[in-house]
Copies of this chain bind each other. A is one copy, B any other.
Amino acid sequence: MYRFKPELRIPGPVPVPNEVSLQMAKPMINHRGAYFKEHYPKVLARLAPLFGTTNQVHMITGSGTSAMEAAVSNLVSPDTPVLCLVGGFFGNRWAELCKAYGAKLHVLDFPWDSGIDPQKVQAYLQAHPEIELIFMVHNESSTAVLNDVEAVAKARQGHSALLVVDAVSALGGAPCQMDAWGLDVVVSASQKCLMTPPGTAFIVFSPRAREYAQNCQASRYYFDLRLYEKYRENAETPFTPNIHNVFALEEALTMIEAEGLENVFARHRLMRDMMRAGARALGLELLVQDADASPTVTAIKYPDADSFRARIRERYGVEFAGGQGVHANQIFRVGHMGYATPLDVLTALAVLEMDMKKFGQATKAAQLVLEA
């Protein structure tokens, strides 16, 4: 059999550029020493434009879920009325976290193939003035839906609830304007559009959320915002950080800044459009309609998707992701986030059309999008 390079086309962790990977092998340094204290605040300041904020970005050593729990544990006291907007696996994770912290849990369920409807959110909030916190996902990678965070933020109208957003698989791949949209907490992580290995998560609080957190009664220590703020004054972390992810992130941000953030977003939208045009040209059904489609991952309906994925992985070295929850074995998902460029979409489509013996059909459709 011919040899194929491994191609990781899952919605995170994503392939890491060599320039970034090599930072991971740098010599160890003292995390309380001068070099770290110089670079650490700088790299977090360079992340702020991706969040669209002038608030302080904090770094937590952990998976993306660690930053989600940091949001919950700094905000949710026992019996706090919260509203979770659930349209997929990660929206559901917010609900599980809030439940674990004893919230009075309200859940608004949306179909696992479309975006959150801001009008339904507005109606629910009007009927429930007691809600103090709203939790939602920006890019629901389990369904490949990009939710309209700005519209949900606006749907609050006069309602005072704080809006908490999981932007793990969106940040750096889709615009986020935390301050302009009036978001109160935004969390993200290193291993998606930021092209850095997993192990580091990020969290930003608005001034209003910081103030609200002062009265939170939840048990917390490792995730306690107050410790992060206190040590940040001295350009340190409260706990030994993932030092090499800071080095790696510096390099990744240099690449993102060189391309320009608007160009990065446009590239992700282009890859989305190429992927969707290609899938359609093969007669495949997309899980999500155009208006709700994610720029970082595409979900495609496919019978017995898991055996198809195994075949593609073995035959061509290309790894797609499977479906989660209700979509298990019903869809496959193609990641096109971070260190992915238009030719990666062409190869993803090429293996798909070869498997279907529809040579050239999907790649042609995608090329027409690229060259339009």
Give the B-binding residues of A (Cβ under 8 A): 6, 8, 10, 12-16, 21-22, 24-31, 33, 61-66, 69, 72-73, 96-97, 100-102, 189, 191, 197-200, 218-222, 224, 238-245, 319, 321
Contacts and interface: CB of A to CB of B under 8 A. Distances in A.
Given A33-B319, A240-B13, A219 B24 contact: no
A232 B319 CA distance: 22
A16 B28 contact: yes
Nearest to A199: B242
A225 B27 CA distance: 33
Contacts of A29: 6, 8, 13
Contact of A28 (B14, B224, B244, B321): B14
Contacts of A10: 30
B222 A62 contact: yes
Given A13-B28, A62-B66, 15 more contacts: A10-B30, A14-B28, A15-B27, A16-B28, A21-B25, A24-B25, A24-B244, A31-B198, A33-B319, A63-B240, A65-B238, A66-B222, A101-B221, A197-B243, A219-B219
Contacts of A69: 221-222
Contacts of A66: 61-62, 66, 222, 239
Nearest to A100: B221
Given A15-B27, A28-B13, A191 B240 contact: yes
A34 B57 CA distance: 35
Contacts of A199: 61, 199-200, 242, 244-245
B28 A65 contact: no
Most central of A13, A239, A241 by chain B CB within 10 Å = A239
Nearest to A102: B219
A62 B101 CA distance: 20
15 contacts: A13-B28, A14-B28, A16-B28, A22-B25, A24-B244, A28-B197, A30-B321, A61-B62, A66-B66, A73-B219, A101-B219, A189-B240, A197-B242, A198-B240, A198-B242
B25 A13 contact: no
B62 A221 contact: no
B15 A31 contact: no
Contacts of A243: 13, 197-198
B319 A100 contact: no
A59 to B, nearest CB: 11
A62 B62 contact: yes
A35 to B, nearest CB: 10
A24 to B, nearest CB: 4
A219 B74 CA distance: 12
B21 A197 contact: no
Contact of A27 (B6, B62, B241): B6
A192 to B, nearest CB: 10
A65 B66 CA distance: 13
A78 B219 CA distance: 10
Give 7 nearest A-B pairs by CB, closest first.
Answer: A63-B239, A24-B24, A199-B242, A25-B25, A21-B25, A100-B221, A199-B199
A66 B238 CA distance: 11
A248 B311 CA distance: 30
A220 B6 contact: no
A12 B102 CA distance: 37
Most central of A65, A197, A222, A238 by chain B CB within 10 Å = A222
A311 to B, nearest CB: 14
A292 to B, nearest CB: 24
A296 to B, nearest CB: 15
